[in-house]
Homo-oligomer: A and B are copies of this chain.
Amino acid sequence: MSSNWGTELWDQFESLEKHTAWGIEFLEKYTKFLKERSEIEQNYAKQIRNLAKKYQPKRNREDETRYSWCVAFCSSLRQLEVLASQREELSENLSENMQELSRYTSDLKSERKGHFQDGRRAQQHIESSWKQLESSKRRFERDCKEAERAQHASDRLDLDRDGEKARQNAQQKQFNAEESRKEYETSLNQFNQDQVQHYRTLVPVIYQRIQDMEERRIERVSETMRSCAEAERKILPQTSRCLEGLLDAAARIQPRQVVEVYKSGFDPPGDVEFEDYSATMRRSVSESSYLDNRSEGRRHSRKLWPFIRKNKVQSKPGRNPI
């Protein structure tokens, strides 16, 4: 709604003083609010970032890249880091808004101070003008009474020489009364001029400045509120992309994978053959063991018995030819 404080609130100086003071209190509260919100976001971003760092896999790169679920987890950690940097960006943005608002508030404080000083100066001027009017009015009233009394006195005494003196006195008092009437008229005119000047010019101008100031303040609140909401809204699409990335990573997970890594490429052992010691009686005592036995005509035979505890080495085909 449109309005003009200079004309409509001409008698609300103190109300405006309270109101604008409250407005500045609000700016300071809102600044503090933004500061705390920004700190919350920063703290949140930090925790997210630390979480991502903490869970970086310790195992060798080969495993991370070999297994799709390791790959997915790593990329989900990267997405988390992106989320963290978005929150840092938001925190940064809120903190900038907060700093600007704080600078603006201190400027506004001094501007306001100036306007109310002008208001008080105008008030002092019209008050002194009023005192001047009052005193000259009283002097005129007093002089009129004295003139009246002197007139009575001279009327009572007749044409003797006391009468003459009283008449002169009455004339003098009359003269004084005329003088203070002039002075009273002058300060009356002066006061009425001052009053017109005060209510038609000074108050409207000063109050208009206060009104502009207040309206700028409120617009600033609106702007800051909008700018902070925009900052937060700005990261939503980025966040959404992050989560899409996470979903893709999850979708790319391949449940069937291990074989290629561990496959030895060998076949299970075949039947053990009969050794006829009665046929070759010259033969020396056999020291054969299951392993030696399986060795016949084979390399890497160690790999053919998966259950033997001693066989810790699990070499891949082609790695150790002998």
Chain A residues engaging chain B, CB cutoff 8 angstroms: 1-5, 8-16, 19, 26, 29-30, 33, 36-37, 40, 43-44, 47-48, 51, 54-55, 68-70, 72-73, 76, 119-120, 123, 126-127, 130, 133-134, 137-138, 140-142, 144-145, 147-148, 177, 181, 184-185, 188, 191-192, 195-196, 199-200, 203, 211, 214-216, 218-219, 221-223, 225-226, 228-230, 232-233, 236, 239-240, 243-244, 246-247, 249-251, 253-260, 262-264, 266, 268-269, 271-272, 274-275, 277-278, 281, 285-286, 288-290, 303-307, 311-312, 314
User: What copy number does this chain have within its complex?
Assistant: 2
* Contact present for B278 and A144 (CB under 8 Å): yes
Measured between alpha carbons, how far is A119 from B306 in the docked complex, in Å? 10
Q: A72-B221, A141-B277 are in contact. Are A305 and B11 (CB under 8 A)?
A: yes
Which residues of chain B are within 8 angstroms of A203 by Cβ–Cβ distance?
Answer: 268
* Contact present for B44 and A51 (CB under 8 Å): no
* Contact present for B240 and A11 (CB under 8 Å): no
* Contact present for B277 and A225 (CB under 8 Å): no
Measured between alpha carbons, how far is A260 from B72 in the docked complex, in Å? 63
Measured between alpha carbons, how far is A296 from B177 in the docked complex, in Å? 26
Which residues of chain B are within 8 angstroms of A260 by Cβ–Cβ distance?
Answer: 1, 3
Q: Per DSSP, are chain A's interface residues mostly helix, strand or loop, or mixed?
A: helix
* Contact present for B14 and A306 (CB under 8 Å): yes
Q: A29-B55, A249-B225 are in contact. Are A263 and B9 (CB under 8 A)?
A: yes
Q: A48-B40, A72-B221 are in contact. Are A262 and B306 (CB under 8 A)?
A: no
* Contact present for B290 and A134 (CB under 8 Å): yes
* Contact present for B272 and A133 (CB under 8 Å): yes
Q: A9-B259, A11-B266, A251-B226 are in contact. Are A240 and B246 (CB under 8 A)?
A: no
Which residues of chain B are within 8 angstroms of A214 by Cβ–Cβ distance?
Answer: 255, 258
21 pairs from A and B in contact (CB 8 Å cutoff) = A1-B254, A1-B260, A9-B258, A10-B268, A11-B268, A13-B307, A14-B314, A30-B73, A33-B51, A33-B55, A72-B225, A73-B225, A126-B307, A134-B290, A144-B281, A200-B268, A211-B258, A222-B251, A229-B243, A229-B246, A233-B247
